[in-house]
Structure 1
Amino acid sequence: MKSHNSIVLLLLCISLFYASATRTPEGSESWGYVEVRPKAHMFWWLYSSPYRVEDPSKPWPIILWLQGGPGSSGVAIGNFEEIGPLDSDLKPRNSTWLKMADLLFVDNPVGTGFSYVEDKTLFVKTDEEAAADLTTLLIELFNRNENLQKSPLFIVAESYGGKFAVTLALSALKAIEAGKLMLKLGGVALGNSWISPEDFVASWGPLLMDLSRFDNDGLESSNRLVEEIKKEIGKGKYEEATILWSILEGVITLHSNDVDFYNFLLDSSMDPVASSSAAEFLQPKALRRYSQYLSSLKLKESSTANGGSRKDFMNDVIRKKLKIIPQNVTFGMQSNSVFDALASDFMKPRINEVDKLLAGGVNVTIYNGQVDLICATKGVHAWVEKLKWAHLKSFQTLERTPLYCGDDGHTKGFRKSFRNFHFYWILDAGHFVPVDQPCLSLKMVGDITGSPAASPSM
């Protein structure tokens, strides 16, 4: 009798879950809200892959994509600009990561994209608070769906999303060990991730000098500010470091004649994904708080299928599809506040979290675009050197393996792997690797996840 009651309760929970979620008729997509805290609502969108391959020895994976910012929307940018089934013109994307896994997009933290809070005091102020909300969301989604529990979850992040990814992974592992979360963590992949802000800002001046984008005056001006940033970080004054970071970006822009922070081969705003992503969360009110320079940036959003901005596209075309967005909620209406609330955590490093994951045997992958400036590979090398992982020296002594994609025979990247640590250097790619190198990115994610749809390892 007790067993029967448990089954009835389980079925009731499942029915309540699907009553609160919306699904397409064929079941290929579902989406909804999870109230991660009272009056704090997080929006999620799950795609079930039409390319799914059943292999008893290799479970089909799920990728949780975490966007950066903080305040940029994974539901919009990661989905329509980078890896989802449709592009921003609503045309099929040949390189969608659905070919290797199911895809879960989340507007994280609360206040991002279609996510929202009813009380402005509820914005998260730390990466750990964001991780706690995401863990609550995963509990709601996975614990009530046995099919999801069969798939290993890979947390794949871009930019500031990398900080969310490593804190989430540790939070999720704790919940799994406590029996509160029913999923298997497959690994974490950090794409052009803001793991150590100090190392990234220190890389900008020397890198731009080597690229002839700086002269000595630019290098000296940049280095002076970097030293001030390091002092503030050393004193634990992270919000002050954030203010200096924004001023440093102004110095970089002035002395480089407006270099694109997302691709140092371009001038600013030449990359439509980069410019629209910045506009997503860096609005005039927030920018004035940090520096007069940033408020003068000329940011424009990319055009979309309906001929307007991304916000127009999400608030019109996508809103009509979803049907569940509250009337008083508009896409991105609280993104400024998301960034502001995390100002004290923005410049805080998360190297220790990476170390904990590696020590715990979690698969950790780094992939970085060659021509990114904001999260330059030079900065990644610097923070990797600071890892305390017991096998770091063995990793460093390995030779890299060249990577190819397509029939041209050209080198597209390099890879190095040792035990549970993996590093991909992606050539001819900036901050948005899946956009710049879609073929290699797809092969890479198949390798990372061990997808049964993937060809033999690169």
Structure 2
Amino acid sequence: MQKLGLCLFPLLLLCFPLIHGRSLESSGGTADGSEQWGYVEVRPKAYMFWWLYRSPERVENGSSPWPTVLWLQGGPGASGVGIGNFIEIGPLDTDLKPRNWTWLQKADLLFVDNPVGTGFSYVEDDHSFVKTDEEAAADLTTLLKSLYNSNTKLQKGPLFAVAESYGGKFAVTLALSIFKAIKTGELAVNFGGIALGNSWISPEDFVFAWGPLLRDVSRLDINGEANSNSLAEQIKKQIADGQYAEATNSWTQLEFEDSTNSNSVNFYNFLFDSSHEITETTASTARKAMEKYSMQLMKSKPFSQGSIENLMNGVIREKLKIIPKNVSWGGQNQGVFNSLAADFMRPRIHEVDELLSMGVNVTIYNGQLDVICATKGVEAWVQKLKWEGLQDFNNAGRKTIYCANSDITGGFLKSYKNLHFYWILGAGHFVPVEQPCIAQQMVSDVTQSPA
């Protein structure tokens, strides 16, 4: 893995092409072409940042072309360029040391700060924030048109959208948008499918999972479970009535109540207590707790800059060269979340159904120890699918999966036609962080990587 030790300050190639005849867009990259990054103006006054890594393990094979993974972070408003890249699956960790289990061993990696306003992406005014998952998908599709339509190298290999948390909702709406753009000839991409990791597909099913799960693991008693289920019923009614913003507020209340009654269980792994911040009800504070928890799991000493914000706004910003002076990494997350508050609790089961019926490969993977997107909730929404293959999927047997050179059960896999479900043991919300070997093995299977 020594060849993954990428220099932080290589010779940069900077260019400023005119895209769509609309505006000047900036991009850059390393001299050897192993990294490229840039901005695309996806709408007037809305700029999305992307960062593409070329794998040093790349194998050009006609029968198994080299894949690209588009990583979609959750939140909504968490940075794929920062968290997904440096905390989870990218070539370097937050100490800027090579990551042993980077997914770059199995695929090229495309990170985006999505939706606009997240991370290094930015908007010129708050009216340009997206308000729905479909609007986010439209922006991502515009980004892909800019990257793929004139790049025959990228077009040769399949693109897989791999998501985490709220990113799953972006993945399913993006997949539908991609297929529409392919059909109309607007996008030249070989789309391989989606993978939904601990994804917020059906908020109703997740809030109903919290009480029983937390009681099963002794974090709630019978009264705490009853209180949780009562609030879940309120949320169910609000969703049924189309009161999605109100349901978001009730979800915040439920999270607070379950946290209080469980002595601050960590919503991303029930084996741990949360930091104190998790009991506060703002989404920005929850994301800070997520980041802090991920760092603890990595068991790495704090890097010299002291925080990922300092890393991204310091040495990484200096490397990239093109970040506008008035843009700070992570500074607009709360605005992104607030803008999507009316869509946050809207389910996307129908979109998964539609993709399955179209023959699109859909992989679901879920960490056993997660609360916020608990496996109980995932199994519940899967059973609501109207896909004709569901009963055969239910009747299929599970395959035990192991990490390489280990006889300890790492999880289970069930597949039928184009639906695949991974139960990942010993992991919570952040599967690539907590079970990196199994996660890398899974993404290799999903993408059919020749490496």
Taking structure 2 as the reference length, the TM-score comes to 0.91
2:118 alignment counterpart: 112
- Once superposed, what is the RMSD of the aligned Cα atoms? 2.3
Q: How does 1:308-319 map to 2 (within 5 A)?
A: 308-319=306-317
Runs of 4+ in 1 over 4 A off after TM superposition: 13-19, 294-304
The code of the aligned residue for 1:48 comes to R
Residue pair 2:25, 2:41 contacting (<8 A) in 1 also: no
1:42–1:51 Cα change, 3 Å: same
1:360–1:299 Cα change, 3 Å: closer
1:123 alignment counterpart: 129
SS at match of 2:314: helix
Gaps of 5+ in 2: 1-14, 296-300
Q: Is the aligned partner of 1:51 residue 2:57?
A: yes
1:360–1:295 Cα change, 3 Å: closer
1:214 alignment counterpart: 220
2:86 alignment counterpart: 80
Candidates 140, 145, 167, aligned match of 1:139: 145
Candidates 221, 226, 229, aligned match of 2:232: 226
Residue pair 1:14, 1:144 contacting (<8 A) in 2 also: no
Q: Is the aligned partner of 1:405 residue 2:403?
A: yes
- C-alpha distance after superposition, 1:322-373 (max 9, x if no partner): 0100011111121110000000000000000000000000000000000000
The code of the aligned residue for 2:115 comes to P
Shift of 1:54: 1.8
Candidates 342, 345, 351, aligned match of 1:344: 342
The code of the aligned residue for 2:423 comes to W
- C-alpha distance after superposition, 1:193-223 (max 9, x if no partner): 0000000000000111111111111011111
1:430 alignment counterpart: 428
Distance 1:295 1:88 in 2: 17
1:61 alignment counterpart: 67
Gaps of 5+ in 1: 1-12, 285-293, 454-458
Shift of 1:307: 3.4
1:324–1:127 Cα change, 3 Å: same
Distance 2:348 2:27 in 1: 34
1:291 alignment counterpart: none
Shift of 1:305: 2.5
Residue pair 1:304, 1:310 contacting (<8 A) in 2 also: no
The code of the aligned residue for 1:428 comes to G
SS at match of 1:124: coil
1:35 alignment counterpart: 41
Distance 1:298 1:39 in 2: 30
Q: Is the aligned partner of 1:355 residue 2:356?
A: no
Candidates 180, 192, 195, aligned match of 1:174: 180
Candidates 249, 254, 257, aligned match of 1:248: 254
Residue pair 2:78, 2:333 contacting (<8 A) in 1 also: yes
1:439 alignment counterpart: 437
1:160–1:385 Cα change, 3 Å: same
Distance 1:102 1:125 in 2: 30
Candidates 82, 95, 98, aligned match of 2:101: 95
Distance 1:22 1:151 in 2: 22
Distance 1:413 1:19 in 2: 44
- C-alpha distance after superposition, 1:48-78 (max 9, x if no partner): 0000012111000000000000000000011
Q: How many residue pairs get matched? A: 426
Residue pair 2:161, 2:195 contacting (<8 A) in 1 also: yes
Q: Percent identity?
A: 64
Shift of 1:282: 2.8
Residue pair 1:233, 1:348 contacting (<8 A) in 2 also: yes
1:186–1:194 Cα change, 3 Å: same
Distance 1:282 1:300 in 2: 14
Distance 1:337 1:447 in 2: 37
SS at match of 1:50: coil
2:9 alignment counterpart: none
2:364 alignment counterpart: 366
SS at match of 2:270: strand
Shift of 1:20: 3.4
Shift of 1:119: 1.4
1:183–1:329 Cα change, 3 Å: same
Residue pair 1:413, 1:425 contacting (<8 A) in 2 also: yes
Shift of 1:306: 2.7
1:261–1:315 Cα change, 3 Å: same
Distance 1:373 1:106 in 2: 26
Shift of 1:19: 8.2
Shift of 1:98: 0.7
Shift of 1:144: 1.4
Distance 2:190 2:16 in 1: 20
Shift of 1:299: 8.8
The code of the aligned residue for 2:284 comes to Q
Shift of 1:298: 11
Residue pair 2:25, 2:39 contacting (<8 A) in 1 also: no
Residue pair 1:65, 1:155 contacting (<8 A) in 2 also: yes
The code of the aligned residue for 2:53 comes to Y
